């Protein structure tokens, strides 16, 4: 009898674990267009800057969605100075943003962060007085510093980032990931940005608050 009771308890525990494991959900979407860099010239990126999927959230408190877009980003910042432009700059980058829309009449959830995230940004500036000094000695142009050539570069990158969606209710949600490439350049400099491939994943999780708490 004890053996049968033990086996019955194990079956109940296994069934409970299976239900608990199946209560979560996962989904993804992808854009496979490659962002290429050939001899310093960027190929075309993803033509449609948006990926969408849906998630069904189960009932219960503490449910959150963890959304993670991951992307390959290519930046081209070509900076040129000449006799007419002693200072020239170029900047290229891309911002990603996540939007979550209730599809079953729920209240609008809280998306954190609730703003675009810069996945890649590069700014380059070059300054020189070389052309001013061609017709005279450098010391004559600037007795203190002489001729100069200044290269200024700033880089910022993420490549992937987690958005956390809270304040959820039971039902379906639509998830959209958008990205916005941007470029600025002063002539004769140029700048280009391409994006792809891109994959974003969405997973339902649960926040657990321990009754005793942990100090750290």
Show me where the domains of the chain are located: 24-206
Q: What is the pLDDT of residues 67-98, one digit of tens each?
A: 999 999 999 898 888 777 788 899 999 999 99
> What residues are paired with 102 via a beta bridge?
173
What letters, b where the CB count within 10 A reaches 16 and e where it falls short, cover 130-165?
eeebeeeebeebeeeeebeeeeeeeeeebeebebeb
Percent of all residues in the chain with a pLDDT value above 70, rounded to a whole number: 75
pLDDT digits (tens, 9 = 90+) for 17-38: 333 333 468 999 999 888 887 7
For residue 118, the cross-strand partners are 95
Exposed, middle or buried, 25 (CB in 10 Å: 0-12/13-18/19+)?
middle
* Alpha-helix runs per DSSP H in the chain: 2-22, 130-133, 138-141
Residue-wise pLDDT for 131-183, tens only, equals 766 656 555 555 555 566 778 788 888 899 999 999 999 999 999 999 999 99
Of the chain, the percentage scoring pLDDT greater than 90 comes to 46
Phi/psi for 91 (5° steps) reads -140, 140
In the numeric block, which tokens belong to residue 168? 């959820």
Enter the pTM of the model.
Answer: 0.78
Confidence label for 213 from pLDDT (cuts 50, 70 and 90): low
**Which of the pair, 135 or 208, is modelled with greater confidence?**
208
Report whether the peptide linkage leading into residue 107 is cis, meaning its omega lies within 30 degrees of zero: no
């Amino acid at each position: 009898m004890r053996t049968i009771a033990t086996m019955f308890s194990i079956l109940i525990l296994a069934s409970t674990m299976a239900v608990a494991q199946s209560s979560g959900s996962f989904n993804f979407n992808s854009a496979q267009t490659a962002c290429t860099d050939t001899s310093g010239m960027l190929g075309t990126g993803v033509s449609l800057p948006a990926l969408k999927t849906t998630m069904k959230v189960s009932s219960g408190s503490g449910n959150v969605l963890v959304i993670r877009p991951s992307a390959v980003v290519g930046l081209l910042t070509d900076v040129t100075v000449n006799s007419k432009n002693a200072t020239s700059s170029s900047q290229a980058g891309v911002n990603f943003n996540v939007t979550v829309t209730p599809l079953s009449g729920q209240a609008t959830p809280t998306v954190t962060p609730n703003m675009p995230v810069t996945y890649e940004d590069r700014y380059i500036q070059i300054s020189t007085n070389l052309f001013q000094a061609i017709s005279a000695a450098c010391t004559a142009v600037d007795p203190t510093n002489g001729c100069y050539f200044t290269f200024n570069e700033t880089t910022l990158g993420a490549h992937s980032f987690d958005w956390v969606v809270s304040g959820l209710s039971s039902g379906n949600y639509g998830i959209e990931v958008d990205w916005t490439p941007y470029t600025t350049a002063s002539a004769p400099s140029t700048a280009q940005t391409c994006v792809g491939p891109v994959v974003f994943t969405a997973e339902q999780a649960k926040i657990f608050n321990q009754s005793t708490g942990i100090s750290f």
